[in-house]
């Protein structure tokens, strides 16, 4: 079973990163670093346990990737909202 929500949120986040990279470099690096650190810790945790890796991934992948999905979608929306906020303030 694949985790479609994680893949979809990653695609959406990459789209917005490519679009707003010049305006929000620090925020994008912060989110990307946190994503990679969390994902790395989860993968290391899966490999460190003595249980079967496939059974463990099937049982817990949807629960462990929820924070990643929420983080990527939240910051994708934040990037667009931040751009809208700057446009409104420039015109005033």
Please report the pLDDT score of residue 87 as a whole number: 64
What percent of the chain has pLDDT above 90? Answer: 11
Instruction: Report DSSP letters for 8-63, one per residue.
Output: HHHHHHHHHHHHHTTT-HHHHHHHHHHHHHHHHHHHHHHHHSSS-HHHHHHHHHHH
CA 15 to mean position of chain CA atoms: 12
**∠ CA(26), CA(44), CA(7), 5° rounding?**
55
Please report the pLDDT score of residue 37 as a whole number: 94
Mean pLDDT of all residues belonging to the chain: 82
Is the pLDDT confidence value at 89 over 50? yes
91 pLDDT band (50/70/90 cuts)? Answer: low
Is the pLDDT confidence value at 71 over 50? yes
Q: Which helix (H) or strand (E) holds 78?
A: helix 66-91
Is the pLDDT confidence value at 27 over 90? no
Query: What tokens appear for 52 in the block?
Result: 């079967």
Cβ neighbours, 10 Å, residue 13: 23
């Amino acid at each position: 079973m694949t985790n479609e929500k994680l893949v979809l949120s990653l695609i959406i986040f990459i789209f917005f990163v490519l679009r707003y990279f010049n305006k929000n470099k620090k925020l994008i690096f912060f989110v990307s670093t946190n994503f990679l650190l969390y994902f790395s810790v989860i993968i290391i945790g899966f490999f460190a346990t003595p249980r079967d890796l496939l059974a463990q991934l099937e049982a817990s992948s949807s629960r462990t990737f929820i924070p990643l999905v929420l983080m990527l979608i939240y910051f994708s929306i934040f990037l667009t909202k931040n751009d809208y906020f700057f446009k409104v303030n420039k015109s005033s």
